[in-house]
Amino acid sequence: MKNALKIQEVEPSFTNRRRFLKISGLTMVGTGLLLAGCSNDEDVMVSPNSTNLKSRYGGGHFPGIKDGVFDLGGNDLGILTYAYALEQLEADFYTKVVNASGFTSNFTAEDQQVLTDLYYHEVIHREFFKATLNSVLPNPKKQLLPDLAFDYGGLNFSSRTQVLATAKALEDTGVAAYNGAGRLISNPDYLLLAGKIVSVEARHASAIRSLINPNSDDFAGDDVVDPTTGLDVKKNPSEVIAIADGFITTPFTALYLP
Protein backbone atom coordinates (compact mmCIF):
# COMPACT_ATOMS: atom_id res chain seq x y z
CA MET A 1 0.00 0.00 0.00
CA LYS A 2 1.46 3.33 -1.04
CA ASN A 3 0.99 5.09 2.32
CA ALA A 4 2.20 2.25 4.55
CA LEU A 5 5.67 3.73 5.09
CA LYS A 6 4.33 7.14 6.01
CA ILE A 7 1.91 5.62 8.49
CA GLN A 8 4.82 3.97 10.25
CA GLU A 9 6.72 7.25 10.45
CA VAL A 10 4.27 8.75 12.96
CA GLU A 11 3.28 5.51 14.69
CA PRO A 12 5.62 5.76 17.74
CA SER A 13 3.72 8.71 19.24
CA PHE A 14 0.34 7.03 18.90
CA THR A 15 -0.02 5.61 22.42
CA ASN A 16 1.45 8.65 24.16
CA ARG A 17 -0.96 11.34 22.96
CA ARG A 18 -4.20 12.39 24.65
CA ARG A 19 -6.97 11.60 22.18
CA PHE A 20 -10.40 13.21 22.10
CA LEU A 21 -11.80 9.94 20.72
CA LYS A 22 -10.61 6.55 21.90
CA ILE A 23 -9.22 4.33 19.15
CA SER A 24 -10.40 1.27 21.08
CA GLY A 25 -14.00 2.29 20.49
CA LEU A 26 -13.39 2.62 16.78
CA THR A 27 -11.72 -0.78 16.75
CA MET A 28 -14.87 -2.31 18.19
CA VAL A 29 -16.96 -0.61 15.52
CA GLY A 30 -14.73 -1.99 12.79
CA THR A 31 -14.70 -5.45 14.31
CA GLY A 32 -18.48 -5.35 14.47
CA LEU A 33 -18.66 -4.50 10.79
CA LEU A 34 -16.47 -7.46 9.98
CA LEU A 35 -18.48 -9.85 12.15
CA ALA A 36 -21.77 -8.56 10.77
CA GLY A 37 -20.49 -9.15 7.28
CA CYS A 38 -19.58 -12.73 8.15
CA SER A 39 -22.80 -13.60 9.96
CA ASN A 40 -24.21 -15.65 7.08
CA ASP A 41 -21.47 -17.91 5.79
CA GLU A 42 -23.63 -19.79 3.32
CA ASP A 43 -24.37 -16.56 1.45
CA VAL A 44 -20.71 -15.63 1.27
CA MET A 45 -19.52 -18.98 0.02
CA VAL A 46 -22.08 -19.70 -2.70
CA SER A 47 -21.94 -18.67 -6.34
CA PRO A 48 -22.35 -14.96 -7.20
CA ASN A 49 -25.50 -16.01 -9.08
CA SER A 50 -27.12 -17.26 -5.87
CA THR A 51 -30.73 -16.18 -5.37
CA ASN A 52 -29.97 -15.41 -1.73
CA LEU A 53 -27.10 -13.12 -2.65
CA LYS A 54 -29.11 -11.35 -5.33
CA SER A 55 -32.04 -10.64 -3.04
CA ARG A 56 -29.80 -9.60 -0.16
CA TYR A 57 -27.43 -7.37 -2.08
CA GLY A 58 -29.40 -5.63 -4.78
CA GLY A 59 -30.75 -7.95 -7.44
CA GLY A 60 -27.32 -8.97 -8.64
CA HIS A 61 -25.93 -5.43 -8.92
CA PHE A 62 -22.62 -6.30 -7.34
CA PRO A 63 -19.64 -3.94 -7.36
CA GLY A 64 -17.27 -4.55 -10.26
CA ILE A 65 -16.32 -3.60 -13.79
CA LYS A 66 -19.25 -2.59 -15.98
CA ASP A 67 -18.61 -1.40 -19.54
CA GLY A 68 -14.93 -1.02 -18.75
CA VAL A 69 -15.38 1.14 -15.60
CA PHE A 70 -15.70 0.06 -11.98
CA ASP A 71 -19.23 0.49 -10.64
CA LEU A 72 -19.95 0.70 -6.91
CA GLY A 73 -22.92 -1.66 -7.16
CA GLY A 74 -26.31 -1.52 -5.44
CA ASN A 75 -27.96 -1.93 -2.06
CA ASP A 76 -25.87 -2.93 0.98
CA LEU A 77 -22.70 -3.91 -0.87
CA GLY A 78 -22.95 -0.78 -2.97
CA ILE A 79 -23.28 1.38 0.14
CA LEU A 80 -20.34 -0.35 1.83
CA THR A 81 -18.25 0.19 -1.31
CA TYR A 82 -19.39 3.80 -1.49
CA ALA A 83 -18.33 4.32 2.13
CA TYR A 84 -15.01 2.62 1.40
CA ALA A 85 -14.36 5.10 -1.43
CA LEU A 86 -15.04 8.07 0.87
CA GLU A 87 -12.87 6.65 3.64
CA GLN A 88 -10.05 6.16 1.13
CA LEU A 89 -10.29 9.86 0.30
CA GLU A 90 -10.28 11.01 3.93
CA ALA A 91 -7.46 8.65 4.91
CA ASP A 92 -5.34 9.84 1.99
CA PHE A 93 -5.99 13.49 2.81
CA TYR A 94 -4.98 13.23 6.47
CA THR A 95 -1.97 11.08 5.61
CA LYS A 96 -0.72 13.92 3.44
CA VAL A 97 -1.55 16.46 6.14
CA VAL A 98 0.41 14.83 8.97
CA ASN A 99 3.38 14.11 6.72
CA ALA A 100 3.58 17.60 5.19
CA SER A 101 6.84 19.47 5.73
CA GLY A 102 5.12 22.31 7.59
CA PHE A 103 2.96 20.20 9.88
CA THR A 104 4.97 20.75 13.05
CA SER A 105 5.84 24.39 12.32
CA ASN A 106 2.65 25.85 10.82
CA PHE A 107 0.04 24.13 12.98
CA THR A 108 -0.57 24.65 16.69
CA ALA A 109 -0.10 21.82 19.17
CA GLU A 110 -3.88 21.45 19.37
CA ASP A 111 -4.13 21.36 15.56
CA GLN A 112 -1.53 18.62 15.42
CA GLN A 113 -3.31 16.66 18.16
CA VAL A 114 -6.68 16.73 16.42
CA LEU A 115 -5.41 16.21 12.88
CA THR A 116 -3.26 13.27 13.90
CA ASP A 117 -6.22 11.72 15.73
CA LEU A 118 -8.33 12.14 12.62
CA TYR A 119 -5.58 10.59 10.52
CA TYR A 120 -5.59 7.42 12.62
CA HIS A 121 -9.37 7.25 12.71
CA GLU A 122 -9.78 7.52 8.95
CA VAL A 123 -7.07 4.94 8.28
CA ILE A 124 -8.88 2.59 10.66
CA HIS A 125 -12.20 3.23 8.90
CA ARG A 126 -10.65 2.60 5.50
CA GLU A 127 -9.00 -0.65 6.53
CA PHE A 128 -12.09 -2.01 8.25
CA PHE A 129 -14.29 -1.32 5.23
CA LYS A 130 -11.70 -3.05 3.08
CA ALA A 131 -11.62 -6.07 5.40
CA THR A 132 -15.41 -6.21 5.60
CA LEU A 133 -15.84 -6.08 1.82
CA ASN A 134 -13.20 -8.74 1.38
CA SER A 135 -15.22 -10.97 3.71
CA VAL A 136 -18.67 -10.48 2.12
CA LEU A 137 -18.07 -9.94 -1.60
CA PRO A 138 -18.61 -13.16 -3.57
CA ASN A 139 -15.51 -12.46 -5.65
CA PRO A 140 -13.41 -9.75 -3.96
CA LYS A 141 -10.57 -10.07 -6.47
CA LYS A 142 -12.92 -8.65 -9.10
CA GLN A 143 -15.50 -6.86 -6.97
CA LEU A 144 -13.42 -4.94 -4.42
CA LEU A 145 -12.99 -1.26 -5.23
CA PRO A 146 -9.32 -0.71 -6.15
CA ASP A 147 -7.05 1.78 -4.41
CA LEU A 148 -8.16 5.18 -5.65
CA ALA A 149 -5.91 8.01 -6.82
CA PHE A 150 -6.41 11.60 -5.71
CA ASP A 151 -5.50 15.10 -6.84
CA TYR A 152 -5.89 18.09 -4.51
CA GLY A 153 -4.97 20.65 -7.13
CA GLY A 154 -2.98 23.54 -5.73
CA LEU A 155 -3.76 22.76 -2.09
CA ASN A 156 -0.79 23.68 0.11
CA PHE A 157 -0.62 20.97 2.78
CA SER A 158 1.64 23.19 4.88
CA SER A 159 -0.99 25.94 5.02
CA ARG A 160 -3.14 25.81 8.15
CA THR A 161 -5.92 27.85 6.54
CA GLN A 162 -6.13 25.70 3.41
CA VAL A 163 -5.86 22.38 5.23
CA LEU A 164 -8.53 23.19 7.82
CA ALA A 165 -10.90 24.56 5.16
CA THR A 166 -10.50 21.36 3.13
CA ALA A 167 -10.86 19.19 6.24
CA LYS A 168 -14.07 21.04 7.10
CA ALA A 169 -15.49 20.40 3.63
CA LEU A 170 -14.52 16.71 3.71
CA GLU A 171 -15.86 16.07 7.22
CA ASP A 172 -19.14 17.91 6.62
CA THR A 173 -19.62 15.97 3.40
CA GLY A 174 -18.77 12.70 5.12
CA VAL A 175 -21.41 13.22 7.81
CA ALA A 176 -24.02 14.14 5.21
CA ALA A 177 -23.04 11.06 3.19
CA TYR A 178 -23.57 8.62 6.07
CA ASN A 179 -26.83 10.35 7.03
CA GLY A 180 -28.11 10.06 3.47
CA ALA A 181 -27.02 6.44 3.10
CA GLY A 182 -28.79 5.21 6.22
CA ARG A 183 -32.17 4.78 4.54
CA LEU A 184 -30.54 2.70 1.79
CA ILE A 185 -29.15 0.04 4.16
CA SER A 186 -31.29 -3.05 4.69
CA ASN A 187 -29.03 -5.08 7.00
CA PRO A 188 -29.77 -3.84 10.56
CA ASP A 189 -26.23 -4.69 11.71
CA TYR A 190 -24.75 -2.48 9.01
CA LEU A 191 -27.24 0.28 9.84
CA LEU A 192 -26.33 0.22 13.53
CA LEU A 193 -22.62 0.32 12.82
CA ALA A 194 -22.98 3.03 10.19
CA GLY A 195 -24.74 5.06 12.89
CA LYS A 196 -21.76 4.58 15.19
CA ILE A 197 -19.30 5.61 12.50
CA VAL A 198 -21.28 8.71 11.54
CA SER A 199 -21.22 9.78 15.20
CA VAL A 200 -17.41 9.63 15.02
CA GLU A 201 -17.40 11.57 11.76
CA ALA A 202 -19.66 14.20 13.35
CA ARG A 203 -17.11 14.62 16.14
CA HIS A 204 -14.45 15.09 13.49
CA ALA A 205 -16.50 17.81 11.81
CA SER A 206 -17.15 19.52 15.15
CA ALA A 207 -13.47 19.42 16.12
CA ILE A 208 -12.34 20.95 12.82
CA ARG A 209 -14.93 23.72 13.06
CA SER A 210 -13.79 24.50 16.60
CA LEU A 211 -10.17 24.77 15.44
CA ILE A 212 -11.19 27.23 12.74
CA ASN A 213 -13.42 29.33 15.01
CA PRO A 214 -12.78 28.57 18.70
CA ASN A 215 -15.43 29.19 21.35
CA SER A 216 -18.17 29.61 18.76
CA ASP A 217 -21.32 27.69 17.87
CA ASP A 218 -19.92 26.74 14.45
CA PHE A 219 -19.67 23.12 15.59
CA ALA A 220 -23.45 23.02 15.06
CA GLY A 221 -23.83 25.73 12.46
CA ASP A 222 -27.02 26.24 10.47
CA ASP A 223 -25.18 25.05 7.36
CA VAL A 224 -24.86 21.53 8.80
CA VAL A 225 -27.76 21.36 11.28
CA ASP A 226 -31.26 22.31 10.10
CA PRO A 227 -32.34 25.11 12.47
CA THR A 228 -36.00 24.10 12.25
CA THR A 229 -35.66 20.34 12.78
CA GLY A 230 -32.35 20.10 14.63
CA LEU A 231 -31.30 17.31 12.28
CA ASP A 232 -27.99 17.01 10.47
CA VAL A 233 -27.82 17.62 6.74
CA LYS A 234 -28.04 14.48 4.59
CA LYS A 235 -27.04 13.91 0.97
CA ASN A 236 -27.65 11.13 -1.54
CA PRO A 237 -24.65 9.24 -2.94
CA SER A 238 -24.96 11.04 -6.29
CA GLU A 239 -24.65 14.42 -4.54
CA VAL A 240 -21.68 13.34 -2.45
CA ILE A 241 -19.87 11.69 -5.35
CA ALA A 242 -20.21 14.90 -7.37
CA ILE A 243 -18.37 16.71 -4.56
CA ALA A 244 -15.74 13.99 -4.04
CA ASP A 245 -15.04 13.89 -7.78
CA GLY A 246 -13.18 17.14 -7.27
CA PHE A 247 -10.47 15.11 -5.51
CA ILE A 248 -10.81 11.55 -6.87
CA THR A 249 -9.11 10.98 -10.22
CA THR A 250 -9.81 7.24 -10.57
CA PRO A 251 -12.96 6.88 -12.70
CA PHE A 252 -15.90 4.91 -11.32
CA THR A 253 -19.67 4.92 -11.62
CA ALA A 254 -22.58 4.52 -9.20
CA LEU A 255 -25.30 3.30 -11.54
CA TYR A 256 -27.38 1.60 -8.85
CA LEU A 257 -27.22 4.23 -6.10
CA PRO A 258 -29.54 7.25 -5.98
Task: Note if the pTM is more than 0.85.
Answer: no
Q: Which of the four pLDDT bands, split at 50, 70 and 90, describes residue 222?
A: low
Q: Is residue 54 predicted with pLDDT exceeding 70?
A: no
Q: Which stretch, 8-12, 19-23, 37-41, 77-81, has highest mean pLDDT?
A: 77-81
Question: Taking the CB of residue 73, how many other CB atoms lie within 10 A of it?
Answer: 28
Show me where the domains of the chain are located: 19-253
Predicted confidence at residue 223, as pLDDT, reads 62
Domain 19-253: homologous superfamily in CATH: Ferritin, core subunit, four-helix bundle (1.20.1260.10)
SS3 state at 66? strand
**What is residue 249's DSSP assignment?**
-
Q: Which of the four pLDDT bands, split at 50, 70 and 90, describes residue 221?
A: low
Question: Taking the CB of residue 154, how many other CB atoms lie within 10 A of it?
Answer: 5
